[in-house]
Structure 1
Amino acid sequence: MKTIYLIGAAFITLAWCGCSKEGRLDFVDSNAPAPMQISDVKVEATPGGGILTYKLPADQNLAYVKAVYEIQKGVFREAKSSKYTDTLRLVGFGDELSHNVKIYSVAANEKESDPVIVEVTPKTPPVKTVFKSAVFKETFGGVNVAIANPFKADLAIVILKDTTGNNNWVTVRTFYTAATVGDFAARGFEARPQKFAMYIRDRWNNKSDTVIKTLTPKPEIEIPSDTYKKLVLPTDQVALADPGYNMENLWNGLPDRRLYASSNASSLPQWITIDLGKKVLLSRFKQYMEQNDHCYTGSGLKTFELYGSNAPNPDGSWASWKLLGEFTTLKPSNLPLGQKTNEDINYACNLGADFYFTTQPEAVRYLRIKSLETYSSPGQVVIMELKFFGQIIP
């Protein structure tokens, strides 16, 4: 028996040595020379960057191609591409100046060829184009920035305030977004002339110019919800997921369950009606999403319309209602369904998604929310809370 054990142990040892030797077959030859240079480089300028295409050398030592370039004084970036492709993408430029780019052929042992140097003159970067078209103005309770971001660039919208009137600037809000459009507001300021500033920053810390304005926030209050009540009209959505998910949860502010949910068997579109109990000149409103299962997913409300009336027809028809706005819930990251960032969650669940009116609506007492689309539910609609802002009309 001892002989069998010894033979077995010897076999295992030989097998291990064989595997070890086989694992060392794919080694890096430190003496291999640097590969040949690439050739025939073509440059295509892009907003804030460029696309390089080239001809690869017929060199077995080539492992990858690397570009090294300076996006700001003393700040260098690298772009790499494998030996199986002929394209390098450069990003991060904050200007439209000409930049030298050094392109290296690199071996597996990291030996580099002499660089091929090309000039790249990027088109205007998004941080500048977005700033140029941005609208910075006063709004109810503060200031507002509206942007168009067609390239879906990752941007930070920074709003500052002069706290003393002597150019002592303090950042009051920073909004992060990659959405194609955005409408952001910093609120909580008195309705008097004050100096505000705004600039835009990208993820490489390139910054736009700064605009400084003296703006007077419009007076605004959160409309007290103590007079709100549901108004159930014919054709309104009445079936609930559970009796505990009733419409009053939209405004009762209870910390343990602030959630409205229609039935799982319901269909879209569907609508509910709220009696504010007084006539209100609306400036904006907030929708809060349920964080666990319905934040940019599930039955979270995505697209909807808001209607107003002062004398709704008791038959539930639409003739007495006026469309106040069509809305889609902003997702700051612009990530696809199933993906979200901490900024997304904070915006939708903690701060509340903001909605504004392109045209100031007339004062109304009754509101009707028509749900058109959720994120992934065929019919159920879930809303955590609604808050309305503006002025009460005596």
Structure 2
Amino acid sequence: MKQLHYMIIFLFLFVAGWSCKKESRINYTDGNAPAPAPVTNVKVTVSPGAAILTYKLPSDPQLSYVKAVYEMQPGVFREAKASYYTDTLHLIGFGDTLVHRVQLFSVGKNEKASAPVELLVKPLRPPVLSTFSSITMNATFGGVQISFQNDAKDNLAIALMLDSTGQNTWTTVNTFYTGAPLGTYSVRGFDTTVKKFAVFVRDRWSNRSDTLIKSLKPVYEELIPKTTWSALRLPTDSWLQAEGYRLEQLWDNNIRSIFASTNQSVLPQWVTIDLGKKVVLSRLVEHQQEADHFYAGSAVKKFEVWGSNDPSPDGSWEHWELLGSFSSFKPSGLPLGQTTEEDKNYAWFKGEDFSFNRLLPAIRYIRFKTLETYSMSGQVVMAEVDLWGQQVP
């Protein structure tokens, strides 16, 4: 027993001594060591707004990392670093296709830098410019509509400005943040007088495109009152109401309450609404549910809007006219399950905005036909529907 007691004491002292030695260990850096030799055999591969450098590292135990210093914009310099575990360095943030001078350094553990290796980089056309060249801006109901294409799926800001005085006094009225490959969105709330609008694109490094300026006259529209709306259940309407989530909650002016069909419902499915009066529609706004079915689950992904003034009592599609076909749009462009505050502001708080691309006839009845949801489970969940346009006297 006494022998076991001594063995335990010995092991405790050994571990304690080993730990102390480990903690007192110091990594020695020679402050007097010379800077490492420069990298060699540098090769450049350019891409839109960027470049990749590959090189041969010097054989020096004091080497810590490789650093590139380059001018992104006149007077704006950026550094890029890569450890000695790799032979590749990425240069990003170029906002043009000009020739940029780059200096490449080897840096030692004592932070001494080698003589620079100088090279010239001419990046390909960056997303901030290619996206701007794709932009169209036209008048729409209540404002302007902007369409864009962003093949690189880069994170960009599209800024809309208004000449508030008519004397080129520009004020930013909306900034739309997106990483989507393409999209169309509208900025509304303007009267129907001719105004000068301007749009430009900016990236995360503050590179900015040229500016597109147009004089446009927004088309008159108003929010269609919901006090006359009612549900019209026709024989072929295929949805089954989930308990407590009534169809009327689509127009109760509360984006926190929802309409939901059951999981036993099938797709496609449609609901029919009697607006109580004839209206000429300019656009439809659909608010997604804030949480579980937000760009996911049973949120609407693809749908059609149909109109009629004389719906068949048997529920057939006779006397119905297709007014528009639409697909859900996510500003961030992120994959399923990932969203941003910009997505939430667009699809829940403001509501997804779907404009009809032609002048429509005045109609009293509409059918909202869901073709696809994000999960394709059969259930459909929506928080609110708004209609804009003009009421017929």
C-alpha deviation, 1:5, in angstroms: 9.8
Counterpart for residue 204 of structure 1: 205
Superposed CA deviations along residues 310-329 of structure 1, whole A, max 9, x for unmatched, are 33333333354333332222
1:237–1:262 CA contact under 8 A, matched in 2: no
Q: Which residue of 1 aligns with 2:19?
A: 19
* 2:271 matched residue in structure 1: 272
**2:50 maps to 1:49:** yes
Relative to structure 1, is the Cα distance of residues 258 and 60 closer, same or farther in structure 2, using a 3 angstrom cutoff? same
Q: Percent identity?
A: 51
Deviation at 1:48, TM superposition (A): 1.5
Instruction: Give the deviation of 1:358 after TM superposition.
Output: 3.4
Match of residue 387 from structure 1: 386
Structure 2 segments unaligned to the other structure (5+ residues): none
Deviates more, 1:354-363 or 1:124-133: 354-363
Match of 1:344 in 2: 343
Counterpart of 1:265, as a letter, is Q
Pair 81,167 (structure 1): closer, same or farther in 2 beyond 3 Å = same
Distance across 2 between alignment mates of 1:175 and 1:10: 69
Q: 1:348 to 1:58 in 2, by over 3 A?
A: same
Q: Mean alpha-carbon deviation: is it higher for 6-15 or for 301-310?
A: 6-15
Displacement of 1:386 in angstroms is: 0.6
Q: In structure 1, what is the equivalent of residue 223 of structure 2?
A: 222
Aligned residue runs from structure 1 range 155-234, under 5 A: 155-234=156-235
Deviations, residues 43-91 of structure 1 (Å, cap 9, x unaligned): 2222212222333444444443332211112322223334444332222
Q: Do 2:303 and 2:326's aligned partners in 1 also have CA atoms closer than 8 Å?
A: yes
Q: Number of residue pairs matched?
A: 392
Whether the 8 Å contact between 2:267 and 2:376 is mirrored in structure 1 is no
Farther off after superposition, 225-234 or 316-325: 316-325
Give how far 1:108 is off. 4.4
Tell me if the contact between 1:232 and 1:238 (Cα under 8 Å) persists in the aligned partners. no
With over 3 angstroms needed to count, the CA separation of the structure-2 counterparts of 1:42 and 1:319, relative to structure 1, is farther
Contact map agreement 2:238 2:266 (CA 8 A) in 1: no
> Is the CA contact 1:65–1:104 (under 8 Å) kept in the aligned structure 2?
yes
Conserved 8 A contact 1:299-1:381: yes
Query: Alignment partner of 1:15: what SS?
Result: helix
Normalising by structure 2, report the TM-score: 0.90
Could you tell me which residue of structure 1 aligns to residue 66 of structure 2? Answer: 65
- What is the CA distance between 1:227 and its match in structure 2? 1.7
Instruction: Give the aligned residue type for 1:289.
Output: Q
Give the match for residue 144 of structure 2.
143
TM-aligned CA distance change 1:40 to 1:316, over 3 Å: farther
Match of 1:198, SS state, is: strand
* 1:1-394 to 2 correspondences below 5 Å: 12=12, 14-22=14-22, 27=27, 29-31=29-31, 33-242=34-243, 244-254=244-254, 258-376=257-375, 378-394=377-393
Q: Which amino acid aligns with 1:252?
A: D
Q: Which moved more, 1:382-391 or 1:167-176?
A: 167-176
Q: CA deviation at 1:309?
A: 2.7
Give the Å deviation of 1:112. 3.1
* Cα shift readout 1:175-216 (whole Å, capped 9, x = no counterpart): 111111122222111111122222111111111112222221
Whole-Å separation in 2 of the counterparts to 1:318 and 1:57: 75
Question: In the alignment, residue 274 of structure 2 is paired with which amino acid?
Answer: D
| Contact 1:28–1:108 (8 Å) recurs in 2 | no
For residues 28 and 327 of structure 2, the distance between their equivalents in structure 1, rounded to whole angstroms, comes to 55
Give, in angstroms, the shift of residue 389 of structure 1: 0.7
Question: Residue 333 of structure 2 aligns to a residue in which SS?
Answer: coil
Question: What is the CA distance between 1:129 and its match in structure 2?
Answer: 1.7
Deviation at 1:172, TM superposition (A): 1.1
- CA distance, structure 2, for counterparts of residue 205 and residue 50 of structure 1: 18
* Aligned equivalents of 1:137, 1:91: Cα separation in 2: 33
Q: Kindly indicate whether the alpha-carbon contact (under 8 Å) linking 2:239 and 2:265 is maintained by their aligned counterparts in 1.
A: no
- Distance of 1:204 and 1:14 partners within structure 2: 56
In 1: Cα distance, 2:314 partner to 2:196 partner: 51
Whole-Å separation in 2 of the counterparts to 1:73 and 1:259: 53
CA distance in 2, matches of 1:140, 1:161: 17
RMSD (CA atoms): 2.8
Q: Secondary structure at the match of 2:190?
A: coil
* Aligned residue identity for 2:29: D
Tell me how far 1:235 sits from its aligned partner: 2.8
Q: Partner letter of residue 273 of structure 2?
A: I
TM-superposed CA distance for 1:134, in Å, is 0.7
Task: Report the CA distance shift for 1:16/1:129 in structure 2 as closer, same or farther (over 3 A).
Answer: same
1:307-366 residue CA offsets vs partner (Å, 9 max, x unmatched): 223333333333543333322221111111221111111111111111123344433322
